[in-house]
Structure 1
Amino acid sequence: MRQFPRPKVLVSRCLEFDNIRHDGHIVRSDIVRALMPLADLMPVCPEVEIGLGVPRDPLRIVRVNGEDRLIMPSTGEDLTDAMLGFTKDFLDDLGNIDGCIFKGHSPSMGIDDARVYAKASLSPVVKKSAGLFAGRVIDEYPGYPIEENDRLRNVRIRHHFLTHLYTFAAFRKAKADGSMEALIEFNRNNRFLFISYDSSIATEMSLLQGSEKEISLIFEEYGSLLGSLMRRPGSIDKKVNAARDMFFTLKDITQEEGSFFEDMLGRYADNRISEDAMIEVLRMLAFRTQGDVSYNNTFLYPYPEELKGKADETRDKEYWDK
């Protein structure tokens, strides 16, 4: 099977690690728990790091003279400078990561759903934005897979996040190697995955392999394009085209198999079968014609199988017992 890299993931410390939420509780997270044996998780709680206790009074982002400030309503204390100071020092020392999983709705860790209030108390929400810590992380790591725990309960969001995460981890490994050979191999293994996101950006990335620029600049430009490419998943049509392109590269395919595959793609496009069903057929055909080499194809194997959720949560439920 494919040898997956170990992603480096920044995680809210209240997710599965410690009872440090403002109410003294821990937040259970299936995705964090599943990643623990397969990734290097780096837990952080900026609110605790700036000296706040557990439990603690809740914080709010408050609009003050046109500026968003982090306020503790119970005391009126302004913690903005302390939070931003910690965040800067933390990010200066953080180094390479491949993605983040944060606690949503948090004034420090929310990605885009932290409430901003008109006043510290008894006031309406004027907008939603990123928390003070998370917002700086997003600015520092543009294009990286950064998600909130609650959103990762959704199967499609989870699949995209994990694909994004493991792709970035593999690119970090290629970049550390620093050779054109490593970049060519990375691009080859991801060829059909990238087509399934955006074929025009994928073409730009491929053309960089023939560039005469310094290799460090090529990796930098390639990484920027990779972030743009994986900002959001590709459409159904793009996935169909990628699957068809890959199918045409397989050897010893019979005419009957070709007809079956085209019919299957039509059923997938019409939402009659799932993406997983389509991929399983491609896996079987690729293994038959390519052997173990097929495991390197990230379109077929984007992340470890252990991270997939159950296909049918109610499959083993007995509906006929009375």
Structure 2
Amino acid sequence: MWHYAKPIVVVSECLGFSPCRYNGDQLNDEVVHKLAPFVQFIPICPEMRIGLGTPRETIRLVKEDEHVRLVQPSTEMDITEQMNEFSVSFLKQLLEVDGFILKSRSPSCGIKDVKIYSSKKKGPALGKGTGMFAEHVLRMFAHKAVEEEGRLTNFVIREHFLTKLFTLALFREVKQTNSHHRLVEFHAEHKYLFMAYHQQKLKQLGNIVANRVRLPIEEVFLRYEQTLYELSARRSRRNSNINVCQHMIGYFKHELSGEEKRYVHELLEKYRAGKLPLSSVTAVIRSWAIRYQNEYLLKQRYFQPYPEPLLDVTDSGKGRDY
């Protein structure tokens, strides 16, 4: 029923594309594997691209004089400049990109929990930070969908990442048409999804689309895009999702029996308590939209913001929050 644009995703090459890890291994990541038919991947191994072979001696982040350097202890080689130069050069030439999936804990690609040491010699880590390539990604593309493969085993993180990724990709496609009509359609289809993310930003987006001051269409798209980035900066919250569901249930207040109303509100309370996934509630509401032929609700991407084969409620167990 829904058309999904094909997101462009930069991905760490070791995640199923090439045996380029420091030890010559290749990882087979389930999320990356499932995404493959639905996205355009751009595999990249920053360490290989700056001339380090595979297998190779390990590299690490070392803090010296308040500055973090990227070094290879066994050779005492400092590769900070090479990595910085490559990162900036590679990222600047990306004409279009919707997201990144990077290797966790990597001194080049890790977004969080990358160990930082006090010296090139063996010893405990001083703390944790961000890999050098990933740091440039976050500096230049923090507004895009950016995650580590390890964190994507968490249901909530994965749900937000996929929702943001496919929403931004579709907006990119709509923006290329330069059509106000297509933008109006995009906004209408995402009304309840955006309401779940940020009601105030939803209102701002509505005002931008209305274009009462008759701005050039290029400026309208530019303002809409910036506000969309702000709206999608954090995931939707449980109470916001409940509010959205209640709004949609309101469309059927005259059609539903008292028993049906009680049932769906029981589902909402179980979702509120973390005992059911949101999909258990939205599936019921969508069935009513089909039953009563509510075309407006049936067009809402809130029900399925990304392709159905990617829906997976399994979780790593770390920070589970339906």
Same fold (TM over 0.5): yes
CA deviations 1:243-293 (Å, max 9, x no partner) are: 111222358632434343333323322334321211111221122233676
Structure 2 residue 267 is the aligned partner of structure 1 residue 264 = yes
Q: In 2, are the aligned partners of 1:251 and 1:289 still within 8 Å (CA)?
A: no
The count of residues paired between Structure 1 and Structure 2 equals 313
Cα distance in 2 for partners of 1:87, 1:273 equals: 42
Match of 2:280 among 256, 277, 283: 277
The amino acid of 1:304's aligned partner reads: P
2:300 to 297, 300, 303: 297
Q: Counterpart in 2 of 1:223?
A: 225
The separation in 2 between residues aligned to 1:180 and 1:163, in whole angstroms, is: 23
1:245 aligns with 2:247: yes
Structure 2 unpaired stretches of 5+ = 317-322
Query: TM-score scaled to structure 2, two decimals?
Result: 0.91
Deviations 1:154-185 (A, max 9, x none): 11211111111111111111111122222211
Amino acid at match of 1:246: M
Question: TM-score normalised to the size of structure 1?
Answer: 0.91
- Is the CA contact 2:153–2:315 (under 8 Å) kept in the aligned structure 1? no
> Is the 8 Å Cα contact of residues 289 and 295 (structure 2) preserved in structure 1?
no
Q: CA deviation at 1:65?
A: 1.9
Deviation at 1:294, TM superposition (A): 4.8
Equivalent residue number for residue 75 of structure 1: 75
CA distance in 2, matches of 1:79, 1:182: 47
Checking the alignment, whether the CA contact within 8 Å between 1:190 and 1:297 is kept in structure 2 is yes
The correspondence of residues 1-322 of structure 1 with structure 2, limited to 5 A, is 1-211=1-211, 212=213, 213-250=215-252, 253-256=255-258, 257-290=260-293, 294-309=297-312
Unaligned runs of 5+ in 1: 314-322
1:111 offset after TM fit, Å? 0.9
Give 2:255's aligned amino acid: I
Secondary structure of residue in 2 paired with 1:10: strand
Matched residue SS, 2:182: helix
Going from structure 1 to structure 2, the CA distance change for 1:271 and 1:66 (only over 3 Å counts) comes to closer
Name the stretch that deviates more: 120-129 or 287-296.
Answer: 287-296
